[in-house]
Amino acid sequence: MIDLRKSDPQFKWEIAKREGGEGLLKCFGCSDCAASCPVRYFDERYNPRKIIRFTLLGMKDIVLKSPFLWFCAHCHACTERCPQGIRVAELINAIKNYAVEQGYCPDGYKMQLDLLMKMGRLYEVEDFDLKKRQRIGLPPIDKTIPEVAKILESTDILKVLKK
Amino acid sequence: MNNKIRVLICNCHGSVKLPKLEFGPDTIVEQHDNLCNVKPKISAEDKVVIAGCSPNLLEGIYPEINAEFVNIFEHIALIGHPAEKANALIAAAIEKAKHTEPIKKKTFEIKHKKALVVGGGIAGIEVAFQLSKNGVDVTLIEKKPFLGGTVAKLDRLYPEGTPYSHTLMPLISNLGSCKKLERLVNTTLTEVSGRPGDYRVALKTVPRGVVECINCGKCIDVCPVEVDDDGKKRKAIYYLPTYPDSYAIDFDTCTKCGECVKICPGKIDLNEKINETEINVGAIVVATGLNWYDVKKVEEYGYGRLEGVMKTLEFERAVASGTLHPKKVAVIYCAGSRDTNHLPYCSKICCLLGLKEAKLVKDRFPEAEVYVIAMDMRSYGTFEYLYNKLRDRGVSFVKGKPSEILKRNGSLVVRTEDLYTNELLEIDVDSVVLSSGFIADTETFSKLNIKLDGDFPVLFENAGLGSHELPRGIFTAGAATFPSGVAETLIDARKASSSALNLLREDRIETRLPQAKVDEEQCSLCRMCIGTCPYKAISIVDDKIKINEELCMGCGICSVTCPSYASQLEGWNHRGLYEQIRALVDKGDLLAIMCRWSAYNATERAAQDRLSYGENVKIMRVPCTGAVDPSHVMLALNKGARGVLIGGCYPDACHYARGNFRAKARESILRMNLELMGMDKNRVRLEWIGKDEAQKFIKIVEEMNK
């Protein structure tokens, strides 16, 4: 049961004014997004409609703490089909960004950032890989890309994630 | 007049090959080649048989004559049947014409070129204006002391939220320019008698109390009685800026203390007498509008018990007059609508009223939170834009029907399940608006003998007459027909006034609908016809069965129900049908008795699609399967028919409401009897055949021919 006394009436406005969140208020709950979603097809716990409706009701805690918010695969099937023209995938993105700002970020994303900062890649390049490349006639690549760390430093992402 | 029967045969520019035609000395055979364009001279008294193409087409070309139609084009020529078949079909039609009473023309004289408009809301005002502008004498009556009806109580109109005065004031000032118009307020209709063109109406006018008024308003200051008028406070003596321009006393609440009489510089009479008059009119337009459903009956929502729970109208008036400053509002939809415990129907406009109230709150108090709790949002047509706009403005929409409203810690708590999130919600608010449905003014309808479907007039059952003409001569306009918005009401009022005008500008109207006739000498007063008539046209008057000519639609169902064959349908007498079947059916034939509204069209469709069927299939046209008597079927079987197919409309789609159900009941009993007699029961079948279902017709015919 949800007690709307705990809801934050400003939450939907916070999301709606963000980049990608503009369409939020247009949702009339047809659930075409959920019906189109390939992720939901495999895992029913993920449901874009519910994320949007909880956001509209101002249930900040439920939305931001939910691990399922992060399941979106960004295939944009929902965006194509939404009858109200909401860019649903981008809307989910906007909610994610807001969640991160509020300090709700899954550990996996933090680890990915650490890897990028350390070597500029998500996957480590080992000698095995270099040998394999040589065998099929490809030039060697750098094990680390320090420029990526510089780029990341110039954005706000480190500040935001440290929160 | 000629006693001989004229047989007009059309060969459609030579495309229909005809055999040698000879039908005996009583007939005159005439050959034509283009009956649909070149009309021969036929007097209305002549008995005529027309053999040509579809009767549906020819009936429209020869509406004024009594004719039996034979379709030799679609039933013979187009499907390659032998030309000799025409002999049997035409001979059968001639036999029917010989033994059938012609359909008589009915004439109504329009004696009084005058109209009565019941109800002084926007619909009534618009009808009165349109009629009087077209030269009709109009009496407009309103039961309240002021014109304006429901709209005069509103603050604003959906979708934009324009003040009601934008619409109502011009309408009322229009009336001022009408010359032949009488406006009677505080007046109700008590009794009506007569028929279209000649109604006698009794009116009752109760006093307004205020006789001479200079609009000083001193009476309001001294009146001790305070009344809550749908969310707005007023005194027992009050004023509305519509018409007439004078104060009035609400005698339901007035205590007759006499304070106003003392202070009034004009004249107030608390003991005025009720005035009763009678007038003659030619047409009556009912524009009685709508009444709010009593939401007190929806006990779980606590209307009248919990403070802060209001109807839409009360909330609107309270917010508009500045007495209410809501911070958190819940608008509950379908309060008592689409609910078998209350109103089973959808009132169509309450969704929009709910949106209007949500917009009102957002317009006046942008910071207020508004929750709209709706099972379904039926913002039909372009009203969807209003719904879209409100979502953009941050109104929260919850899908569901609240279970109850509670009072907890001083605020109202609405408990509902939100179907969008599948979670139980509790919303605490300071105001709850119940968007309830509407009921009709059934009192006026019953006085005018208007048939009701639940609460509202039946619109679609009126065979062939158009939705406005209930019993012809009485018309409905606006929300009296069904709850409708202001724009729709005005459009409907204009339609109704043009229908009334069509009637009133004629000197007489004529109709040629067949009528049921009862032979008094043969009637045993068993009363079975009364229950079977779909139009409630039959009643007992002075120990005699009486058929109301205005209500009878000519379905013929009563003529088959009557156990003593006293009731007969003009143009479809049993005797005539017997003779037709005798002449039509030969040994081995398959008789198809087809409803003229659906199955008969399917047989024609078969020809148009160039689909053929057995040559032994002979098709007969009847007004309704409900008018097919088991004796017709038995006669055909005894004449040697291998089977009888009765084709009718699908269930619920009968042109005469339930004729096909009657036919189904008769068919099953008939099949049972056939079995008892040791015959194959499948020789008689009743099938639902839609107007385009040629394939189905042919499939059934082939099955029966096997």
Residue (of B572, B534, B538, B562) closest to B453 by Cα position: B534
Note the pLDDT tens digit of each residue in B452-474. 777 777 654 433 343 334 456 88
Tell me which chain B residues have a C-beta less than 8 angstroms from the C-beta of A2. Answer: 418, 421, 423-426
Q: Stretch B107-135: mean pLDDT, rounded? A: 93
**The two three-digit tokens of residue B315, written as one number:** 């909330």
pLDDT for the residue numbered B463: 33
A89 HSE (CA, 13 A, CB side): 14
Note the pLDDT tens digit of each residue in B309-318. 999 999 999 9
Written as one string, the DSSP assignment of B121-177 is SHHHHHHHHHHHHTT-EEEEE-SSSSS-TTGGG-SEETTTTEETHHHHHHHHHHHHT
3-state secondary structure of B574: helix
Residue A156 confidence (pLDDT) above 90 = no
Confidence of residue B75 (pLDDT cuts 50, 70, 90): very high
Q: Searching chain A, which residue's CA lies closest to the CA of residue B422? A: A50
pLDDT for the residue numbered B327: 95
Alpha-carbon Rg for chain B, nearest whole angstrom, is 32
pLDDT for the residue numbered B2: 58
Kindly list the residues of chain A whose beta carbon comes within 8 Å of any beta carbon in chain B: 1-5, 9, 12-13, 25-29, 49-50, 53-54, 56-58, 84
Domain ranges of chain A: 7-101, 107-162
User: Phi and psi dihedrals of B459, rounded to 5?
Assistant: -100, -40
Confidence of residue B18 (pLDDT cuts 50, 70, 90): confident
Tell me which chain A residues have a C-beta less than 8 angstroms from the C-beta of B426. Answer: 1-5
> Is there a contact between B427 and A54 if contact means CB atoms under 8 Å apart?
no
User: A7-101 in CATH: which number?
Assistant: 1.10.1060.10
Q: Which residues pair with B618 in a beta bridge?
A: B591
What whole-number percentage of chain B has pLDDT above 70?
97
Instruction: Return the residue in B396, B418, B424 with the most chain A beta carbons within 10 A, the one to mutate for interface testing.
Output: B396
pLDDT for the residue numbered B461: 41
Beta strands in B448-522 (DSSP E): 452-453, 456-457, 474-476, 508-511, 516-518
Beta strands in B543-589 (DSSP E): 544-547, 567-569
Do residues B431 and B326 make contact, with C-beta atoms less than 8 angstroms apart? yes
Q: How far is CA A123 from the centre of its chain?
A: 20
**The two three-digit tokens of residue B143, written as one number:** 């039961």
Residue A22 confidence (pLDDT) above 60 = yes
**The two three-digit tokens of residue A125, written as one number:** 């390049």
Tell me which chain A residues have a C-beta less than 8 angstroms from the C-beta of B427. Answer: 4
Alpha carbon of A84: minimum distance to chain B alpha carbons (Å):
9
Note the pLDDT tens digit of each residue in B319-367. 998 999 999 999 999 999 999 899 999 999 999 999 999 999 999 999 9
Confidence of residue B652 (pLDDT cuts 50, 70, 90): confident
Burial per residue of B38-68, b for 16 or more beta-carbon CB atoms within 10 angstroms, e otherwise: eeeebeeebbbbbbbbbbbebeeebeebbbb
Tell me which chain A residues have a C-beta less than 8 angstroms from the C-beta of B394. Answer: 12-13, 25
Note the pLDDT tens digit of each residue in B607-621. 999 999 999 999 999
pLDDT for the residue numbered B465: 41
Nearest to A57 among B393, B396, B422 (CB): B396
Q: Stretch B541-551: mean pLDDT, rounded? A: 85
> Is there a contact between B398 and A28 if contact means CB atoms under 8 Å apart?
no
Tell me which chain B residues have a C-beta less than 8 angstroms from the C-beta of A22. Answer: none
Residue (of B272, B252, B305, B140) closest to B206 by Cα position: B272
Tell me which chain B residues have a C-beta less than 8 angstroms from the C-beta of A1. Answer: 423-426
> Is there a contact between A2 and B394 if contact means CB atoms under 8 Å apart?
no
- ipTM for the complex? 0.83
Confidence of residue A45 (pLDDT cuts 50, 70, 90): confident
Nearest to A53 among B421, B424, B427 (CB): B421
Residue B141 confidence (pLDDT) above 70 = yes
**Whole-angstrom Cα distance, residue B107 to residue B95?**
29
> Is there a contact between A12 and B394 if contact means CB atoms under 8 Å apart?
yes
